[in-house]
Structure 1
Amino acid sequence: MNRFAGKFSTYELLFVVGIIGISFSSIFVRWSDADVAIIAMYRLYLTNLLLLPLVWRHRRELFRLSGRQWGWLAFSGVMLGLHFLLWMASLRYTTVASSTVILTLEPVFVMFGSYLLFGTKANRVMLIGMGLAFVGSFVIASGDFSLSGDALIGDVLSFLGAAAVAVHMLIGKELRKDVSAFTYNFWVFAFAATALAAYNLVRGNAFGGYSGHDWGIFLLLAIVPTLFGHYLFNWLLKYMNAASVSMSVLGEPVIASLLAWILLKESLNGYQMAAGVLVLFGVWLFIRFGNETRKA
């Protein structure tokens, strides 16, 4: 029993590290003037470049996949690429707080999809935790939402990005039962980056000529929010249910808004900061008391 408790605490710690990691993503995107599709593409290609030293160790599994697994890996990658494209684009139209808080809809998509596809149900405490987190998240962005103009475009893009990453999470939950975290991440990142490369080619976006500052941002995005964020979450999919892992997005608005307040000078009032505490409490309830059950 103690051994299990220790392991569970490790998963919780890694979960928190992942939340902090992904929270830097919006800041880095704002610091680059490159097209968001280029930023997303190089973020993922550079991530896989950093993973190359481990390829030899996983060489057998990397290429011993069934046709079905290859197909789902490709689909998962396309959905991840689409998520990055849509969500990063939303940051060009609205504030960090508004953009990240829309992503809190992801667990709803994941929970609904898990129920339809896998028969997964949420218990009462999980629903309470999610409800508290939603209330806090929307208070954080209450001063930034707009029903017209550029802000609405940003909100819609973030909404669609949340739906895309929910599909990615659901596919990953099933694939991670038989595929290691490294193999899953390596190929999903590769497919996502290649899909974005095709998009950039069609759009006529330049693949080179970027400043050292931009390349530094691409690298930071590969290391901080991707390796210490998405990679960790994909690894945790084998040990936590998909809805719980997706709850990471409810912690992101809190930290991202604070970072935007400090680094980007975006406004954040006392009510929003108090709401951030509510979000974190809701997330804690969800992952601490959450369990995965199946329909009989």
Structure 2
Amino acid sequence: MHTTLGCYAIAVAIITVWSTTFVSTKVLLRSLSPEEIMFCRHILAYLALLAAYPHRHRSSGIREELLFAGAGLFGGTLYFLTENYALKFSMASNVGLLMATAPMLTVLVARFLNANEPFNRQLAVGCGIAFLGVFLVIFNGHFVLKLHPLGDLLAVVAALTWAFYSILVKQIGNRYNGIYITRKIFFYSIVTMLPFLAFGDFRCDFGRLRDPEILLNLLFLGVVASSLCFLVWSKIIWKIGPVAVNNFIYLEPFITMLAAWWLLDEQLTPIAVTGGIVILAGVYISTQAVHKRPRSV
């Protein structure tokens, strides 16, 4: 992680892990509600981080606590709720496409908040090219875009919450141990999701955790995809910035497509392969752009 190229490689590895979480989530949805999956995932992530680094640090004040609370609310509670319910009310293809706006929204949020992140023509072009590639991969020659207003709106909100989370993590900085920072963000995620659990489909039936399939999938989502990946993702944000890191989100549908081809023997079509190449080109252009001096579009 000491070089920019190393950060890019780690970002791709994390996106690869996150691209496989949909399988675990689909398995768990047979037995658990979206709220139950979210809560158990965050509890396991918090406990894993607490075991790895049980120490506390003295807070520097109310502003710092608000930053942590905001990161927990946006990156945990609101992101997972809006994403899960978007999938419930809309088509997966719609949600996948709209969630791919997260890198572009990160650029806009960073500019709006004056977060000293790069914004130039090359970055805008790279984002546009990568988004086109995402479109090709998701629709794969079968263009069916049906509007589902509530679900589609929730997908955009989910992408927006991730953009705010990324900026807040950058503003928190790495003044403390990275494990402690990630743990504290997950703590506030748990606190802010409690009101939603009170009104959602949540049951305190922990006996279901005796099912090995449920337990193993929750451990993967909580310990690997959440605590470990969120920790490393935060470190990369501190190193190269949220705009550069979030560009790799464009790779998620491409990696999912490759995983389906490799593991599920699904067919790779020329359009999907072309889309993957277009995504790679867009991500390359965007990552090159973030190292240039910002100028107005």
Relative to the length of structure 2, the TM-score reads: 0.85
Tell whether the 8 Å contact from 2:16 to 2:255 is kept in structure 1 after alignment: yes
- Equivalent residue, structure 2, for 1:116: 112
Deviates more, 1:200-209 or 1:133-142: 200-209
Map residues 178-217 of structure 1 onto 2, 5 A cutoff: 178-203=175-200, 205-208=202-205, 209-211=207-209, 212=211, 213-217=213-217
Cα distance in 2 between the residues matched to 1:93 and 1:269: 28
* Structure-2 change in CA distance of 1:112 and 1:105 (3 Å): same
The AA in structure 1 aligned to 2:146 is: L
The AA in structure 1 aligned to 2:274 is: A
**Percent identity of the aligned residues?**
18
Tell whether the 8 Å contact from 1:78 to 1:195 is kept in structure 2 after alignment: yes
Alpha-carbon shift at residue 254 of structure 1 (Å): 1.0
Match of 1:70, SS state, is helix
Tell whether the 8 Å contact from 1:120 to 1:292 is kept in structure 2 after alignment: no
Tell whether the 8 Å contact from 1:41 to 1:194 is kept in structure 2 after alignment: no
The AA in structure 2 aligned to 1:252 is: E
Cα distance in 1 between the residues matched to 2:159 and 2:105: 8
The AA in structure 2 aligned to 1:48 is: Y
Alpha-carbon shift at residue 267 of structure 1 (Å): 7.6
Alpha-carbon shift at residue 174 of structure 1 (Å): 0.9
Alpha-carbon shift at residue 223 of structure 1 (Å): 3.1
- Equivalent residue, structure 2, for 1:43: 41
Aligned residues: 287
Alpha-carbon shift at residue 95 of structure 1 (Å): 5.4
Cα distance in 1 between the residues matched to 2:70 and 2:222: 21
Q: What 5-or-longer segments of structure 2 have no aligned partner?
A: none
Q: What 5-or-longer segments of structure 1 have no aligned partner?
A: none
RMSD value, Cα:
2.8
Pick the aligned partner of 1:158 from 145, 155, 158. 155
Cα distance in 1 between the residues matched to 2:252 and 2:16: 7
Cα distance in 2 between the residues matched to 1:276 and 1:159: 22
Tell whether the 8 Å contact from 1:101 to 1:250 is kept in structure 2 after alignment: no
Deviates more, 1:104-113 or 1:85-94: 85-94
Relative to the length of structure 1, the TM-score reads: 0.85
